[in-house]
Structure 1
């Protein structure tokens, strides 16, 4: 799953407001953000979100997915109930885009971003969890690895039909999962699980890079 435009902007917002700052050293200043359409965020509330490890947010997100009967079950209240996380609304009024997000710094420059996308003319209601790093090409996921194979097996046990997606030279690009909506509404749940090597460029353990619904 690729980060939406709103989510990419939100990563920058979170960096500015110290999310990424706590994962940087003084010798690695944050680069200026490119100019983007003006965004609006909802005011902060008194709710304090829990500080979670990569594995903890991964487990809570998995529980959320496993409890879905339909894509329509994806609401900010449901996310808060299952994960304990309150999402903040971010919108681009001029472009008619909006999203509900929460991000948190992990370690070694990594952060996670949880994003809920409301239904619109162009998009179905959806949700995604991504692990991001400014230096993704050389940053190890050691200490922040959500085991890819365990995640895949858990989704299969939850009743999702699965199918691997390979690239032109046979490399694993992602793993697709699908579950039909219980109410027959057609709001079926289709998920993409994207892997990444724990150590960049080295074979071995696979970690979850991102997981989210497909449009």
Structure 2
């Protein structure tokens, strides 16, 4: 199903077609998603899914996309455990940007100013990737979040305005604000997904102030 998590911790649902092992969201004209190597779009208005292509062009010994995200200028990027790619949004063809060095990387998101953020499954650290001339110029640790019961991101993060929203690996969505210390964002909201009957959120994205996500068997 396609479901929207609003700011009052409620949800709305919309039936969508099946896509096996669906993972990850990114916003463009539609909501893009993938099941590791298959790139598809979801029409958020009616829940229809269109498979576009199989992603091809991975680096040697690589081959499972963990997360995807659109940059503010409309380019689509994706990460695996070790590599950052640019993805053609229609053909799925990959262009290698470089190795990112973030352990267990599984979460990728751009801010409105173009800042590229990344997190991993085994760490609560937020990293920033810098790119220059089509390659990675450096990767720096930007902040560390606090999340009781979690050890890292479950599969995605997003920004709502300047607030950081993370799907953590204890089945929560954590909302943070950078208003006290830039390297220690303050937790302002904690959504327990189990209490909503939801499990394993792998993808998050903000669409005009509405928060959407994917689970292991649905699009939220």
Q: TM over 0.5, yes or no?
A: no
The structure where helix makes up a greater share of residues is 1
The structure where strand makes up a greater share of residues is 2
Higher relative CO (CA 8 A, sep ≥ 6), structure 1 or 2?
Answer: 1
